[in-house]
Amino acid sequence: MMVNEVLASEEQARGWIGDGFAPTVRQWERLDRFAGLLVEENERQNLIAASTVPSLWVRHIADSAQLLALDSGRDGLWVDLGSGPGLPGLVVAILSERPMLLVESRRRRCEFLRAVANTLDLAHVEVAEAPLERVETRAAATISARAFAPLDRLIALSTRFSTESTRWLLPKGRNAVKELALLPQPWQRMFHVEQSRTDVESRILVGEGRIGAEQRGKR
């Protein structure tokens, strides 16, 4: 695991995105518009903690964009589980042309996701309004989940979307190493740990591959 400098201000977060992704004017406009829409909608439904609004670019925009940085150079379908307000899915969709499937079971959140995708003309974004168990299986190049389920349940539910080359990008906060240690050994070997760019104590589990039925339960 490499130790990265943690982004400490909104200015640093925007600068890091600018340096790392070289967004076009249109992409900057979309990011700014998305940030505004997120704050507006947060007054109607609890999408993000109110305490994080003043640090929106660090806590949510850059926090999402760092997952795209960990998947640099890849293409194909990106499946974002429990997408909620579109974090990281909509940020990734704005900064890339990757086809994006946002999986979210809550109706009002899905309405917000579709409204943002339409407003920002993100034609490559699709919203699946259903529990993951009822979403049609597709081969995902990348699977992300920012706040979806405990790690063992997350993998068990989503492994049917993975292939031998699927990249898993799973921010698990301060409990990442502890959650990883509780997995069966074959699952553990899929992953390595990266430090978050937005919280010195948070970690991201980065994995590659597919867990077959024969691996489940092995210690």
Task: Give yes or no for a contact between 205 and 193, defined as CB atoms under 8 angstroms apart.
Answer: yes
Ramachandran category for residue 41: left, alpha or beta (phi over 0 → left; psi -120 to 50 → alpha): alpha
Enumerate the H helices of 120-198 as residue ranges: 151-158, 176-181, 185-188
Mean pLDDT, residues 193-212: 92
144-161 confidence digits (pLDDT tens)? 999 888 898 999 999 999
Pairing of strands 203-208, 167-173: antiparallel
Query: What does the domain layout of the chain look like in residue ranges?
Result: 10-215
Q: Count how many Cα atoms sit within 13 Å of the Cα of residue 76 in the half-sphere of its side chain.
A: 16
CA nearest neighbour of 201 among 170, 179, 176, 168? 176
- Residue 4 has a pLDDT of 66
Confidence tier at 2 by pLDDT (50, 70, 90): very low
Mean pLDDT, residues 10-14: 97
pLDDT score of 117 more than 70? yes
* Percent of all residues in the chain with a pLDDT value above 90, rounded to a whole number: 84
67-116 confidence digits (pLDDT tens)? 999 998 899 999 999 999 999 999 999 999 999 999 999 999 999 999 99
- CB burial of residue 97 (10 Å; 0-12, 13-18, 19+): exposed
126-150 confidence digits (pLDDT tens)? 999 999 999 999 999 999 999 888 8
| CATH fold label, 10-215 | Rossmann fold (3.40.50)
26-67 confidence digits (pLDDT tens)? 999 999 999 999 999 999 999 999 999 999 999 999 999 999
- Residue 186 has a pLDDT of 86
Query: Residue 126 forms beta bridges with which residues?
Result: 101
- Residue 148 has a pLDDT of 87
In this prediction the pTM is: 0.93
pLDDT score of 212 more than 70? no
- Residue 214 has a pLDDT of 45
